[in-house]
Amino acid sequence: MRLETPPGRPTGAHELEPMPTGRVGAWLATLDPAYFALVMATGIVAIGARLLGHGLIAQALLVATALGWVLLSTAYLVRAARFPRRFLATLRDPSSAIAYFTVIAGTNVLATALLPHGWWLVATILGIAAFLLWLVLTYGLLSSVVLVGNRPALRDINGSWLIWVVGTQSIAVLATSLAPQLPWAAGQDLLGPTAVLFWGVGIVLYLILVGIIFLRLFLVETTPKDMGPAYWILMGATAISVRAAAGILDLGAAHPLALLAEIRPFIAGLSVVLWAFGSWFIPMLVIFGVWRHVVHRYSTAYHPSLWSIVFPLGMYAVASETLGRATSTEFMQQLAAVWVWIGVAAWAIVAVLLVIAGIRSVTNAVVRSPAA
């Protein structure tokens, strides 16, 4: 399974490893590069529930996040070892390679969720691993597109490309969350500027990619298949950029470094603009969904890309709460108190669809087996 993006150049299917006959092997061979969106979605809803005082839900979802991270990390490693040619094929195609930024974002979301429990050392290790992977994917993707010539067509560029921004901003979020817990003053002084730098890179990437995506929407015919959950990442990328900005504002108030003090007005103003744009786009995303599923009766069955809807909904609540606190904007906090339940409900719906899909898969396998 893949993120809902049209396929790129043919990867030479005859060169790939043969498809296994077992269900587990087949799942590994076709594992969606964006499946880590499950970890992202579960983790951010857990963070939102904790921020807004729903401790039991937060604890349960944090456990689910950690389990999901372990399971999917193992699955990705096994897939790379057992099906190296299939794995490399997804890295060569920019439309699927971009989806691996979900691993970065999911890892940083888990690390951020662990910090309130005092697990700063584990969070640091996870953050370093995510940063190194970000370096490899960022410069590898740019080299592949610009130097090697694996250029995606305009039709191939949709909301899924903004996971690059989400992964980048997740580093800034973790940096601002981790800084107050580090026992070393030098580390705290380093993480503040690091957060600002990654936030800035994320903002510029967002502006570039959003321009291309809107160009694609305006100039290329859109089908119900094209208008998938990936476009929700447009709002999710905005929300995590706001969350990173709120973290920088909070860190600047607690640790008055010169850089943080100088850019505080700029970050506060731009974060409000980004929050407004993300809020404005939500009704359009709902319209896209109605057009896809109601007007054109597109399937509502479970697909890993559905977690790409849950994450932005959860992140919007977190962004509204944290920016509201940082700027003393009460209505944002009031909105977050309601919106967090939308995120919880969305997570529950997709989780139920996942369970139903799993049960159907097992049932169908039993029915088709000779023993049956």
- For 320-340, the DSSP string reads HHHHHHHHT-HHHHHHHHHHH
Confidence of residue 365 (pLDDT cuts 50, 70, 90): low
Contacts by 256-265, CB closer than 8 A, 24 or more apart = 257/189, 257/192, 257/193, 259/192, 259/193, 259/196, 260/192, 260/196, 263/196
Confidence of residue 154 (pLDDT cuts 50, 70, 90): confident
pLDDT tens for 111-140 read 999 999 999 999 999 999 999 999 999 999
Percent of the chain at pLDDT > 70 equals: 94
CATH of domain 31-359: 1.50.10.150
More confident residue, 332 or 9: 332
- Which pLDDT value is given to residue 73? 96
More confident residue, 151 or 112: 112
Residues ≥6 apart with Cβ < 8 Å to 20: 26, 28, 29
Residues ≥6 apart with Cβ < 8 Å to 301: 353, 357
Output the six-digit token pair for 330: 């009460």
- Which pLDDT value is given to residue 116? 94
**Average per-residue pLDDT for the chain:** 90
Calculate the alpha carbon distances from 369 to 21, 72, 284, 363 in Å: 12, 28, 46, 10
Please report the DSSP string for 78-108 in residue order.
Answer: HHHHH-HHHHHHHHHSHHHHGGGHHHHHHHH
Confidence of residue 18 (pLDDT cuts 50, 70, 90): confident
pLDDT at 371 over 70: no
Across the chain, where does the E strand assignment appear? none
Average pLDDT over residues 203-230: 91
pLDDT at 282 over 60: yes
pLDDT tens for 244-268 read 999 999 988 777 777 888 888 999 9
Distance CA 70, CA 93 (A): 26
